[in-house]
Chain A
Amino acid sequence: MLRRTIDLLLPALFPSWRFFKQVGPSPRVEYRVLTGGCESEWRESHPIPENVGLKRMVRRMFWNPARNTQLYMVSLSERLVSGLVEHSAAELNRLIAEKIGEQDGELQFRLMFMAPEGDQIVGTVVYESEPVALQELRV
């Protein structure tokens, strides 16, 4: 507990400030629902909208919970692949379950990391979660 607290505090008290040092592979979270042996298609969870107008940008300066959740999910995805699996997976499950609302079955998600390959942007699946009952996540 103490070790973890120190690990969490130190980067805030002695920050490295290396924002965007490199632009590496970027995560997308996809999910599917398994119901009675049937699997739905993989869908992106919390996708960005097609367009955000200037008025909405201004509004988001003061009220931005959805976007901040998306950014948190990016952090969780990066933490998950760097080793903080249990907490990150639990949080991602919780956030996806919140988003898809009332639905029965089991939730499974995967992390797809996007990176350029020549002229194409290619996604590589780097993690696939164990299915969890949606009812359990809502509790």
Chain B
Amino acid sequence: MSFDAMMRLTEVMLALVILQTCVEHYWMGRDRVLFAARALACVWLLVGWQSGGAVGALWITHLILLHRFGGPYNGGADKMTMLITTCLGAAHLFPAWQELAMAYLAVQLVLSYFVSGYVKLVNPEWRSGQALVDVFRFSAYPVSERLRGWADQPRLLWLMSWSVIGFEVIFPLTLLHPFALLGGMVVAGTFHLANAFLFGLNRFFWIWLCAYPSLIWFQDRIFG
């Protein structure tokens, strides 16, 4: 994938994802002016004219939202949104450093899997499957009470724990070959989809997908 194609694809995907969140907030009747402004910036970005300005508008409104909500509204999903917006903004603002800016995004994406897997790997509760049992048993994350019944399936959750740890830790190796990366992204996408279904983390699914074009370009740029 060429650098320009990757940039444009990332911009379009980011605009659509942020637009979806704006519609939700606007519908809930909260901070409507701010979300309307943000939605307009998304439309501007989709049009593609002077897209650096649209990215800048999204960056500023995101910063205002961080103040407004006292931090991220939706945890890691908001952090990834800000990271992608910042990297796109840096690429527009400093053309001489644009590859470095988007490579930073790709590296952070790889780290998001590897670090997350590593901290689980060194935690005995994750290795035994107990952590995932606890997630279902009493954490605030399952989307329904019925799902708490999964806590009574420790063998299944042990298998799920090791599947997650395994895929997250070996994810950096998928950079070695385009097909391996494709496979890694399919597995990672399935993992995010499961998190969206079981824990209601739909924003993570969409925003992580937005960073995938940078990874495809990065793999080709470094190992292609």
Q: How far is the CA of A115 from the CA of B20 in the complex (A)?
A: 35
Q: How far is the CB of B218 from chain A (nearest CB, A)?
A: 17
The residues in A between 90 and 124 inclusive whose CB is less than 8 angstroms from any CB of B are 91, 114-116, 121
Give the CA-CA distance A76 to B169 in the complex, in Å.
30
- The range of chain B's interface size is 35 or more
Other-chain contact of B111, A17, A79, A84 (Cβ < 8 Å)? A17
A4-23 Cβ-contact flags toward B at 8 Å (1 or 0)? 11001101110111111111
- Inter-chain contact A61/B24, CB cutoff 8 Å: no
Given contacts A17-B116, A21-B119, A51-B145, A63 and B140 within 8 Å (CB-CB): no
Main SS class of interface, B: helix
Contacts of A65 in B (CB 8 A): 24-25, 27-28
In the bound complex, CA of A13 to CA of B81 (Å)? 10
Could you say which of B70, B82, B205 contacts A84, with CB atoms under 8 Å apart?
A: B70
12 contacts between A and B (CB under 8 A): A12-B66, A17-B108, A17-B112, A17-B116, A26-B138, A57-B143, A64-B24, A71-B74, A75-B71, A75-B72, A75-B73, A88-B70
Cβ distance A116 to chain B, nearest Cβ, rounded Å: 6
Do A116 and B202 contact each other (CB < 8 Å), given the known contacts A51-B145, A57-B197, A64-B24?
no
A116 contacts B111, C-beta separation under 8 Å: no
CB < 8 Å neighbour of B24 from A11, A63, A76: A63
B115 within 8 A of partner (CB): yes
Is B144 engaged at the interface, CB distance under 8 Å to the other chain? yes
Give the Cβ gap from A96 to chain B, nearest Cβ, in Å.
Answer: 14
Smallest distance from the beta carbon of A58 to chain B beta carbons, Å? Answer: 8
Write out the residue numbers on chain B whose beta carbons fall within 8 Å of the beta carbon of A20: 116, 120, 131, 135
A70 touching B134, Cβ below 8 Å: no
Q: Does B8 contact A (CB under 8 A)?
A: no
Q: A18–B116 contact, CB under 8 A?
A: yes
- Minimum CB–CB distance from A88 to chain B (whole Å) comes to 6
Provide the B92-113 mask, 1 if CB < 8 A to any CB of A, else 0.
0000000000000000100111
A38 on interface, CB distance cutoff 8 Å: no
Please, which residues of chain B bring their CB within 8 A of the CB of A50? 144-146
Q: Is the CB–CB distance between A61 and B202 below 8 Å? A: yes
The answer to whether the Cβ of B176 comes within 8 Å of any Cβ in the partner chain is no
A61 to B206, CA, bound (A): 9
Is the CB–CB distance between B66 and A9 below 8 Å? yes
B70–A79 touching, CB < 8 Å: yes
Q: How far in angstroms is the closest Cβ of chain A from B139?
A: 4
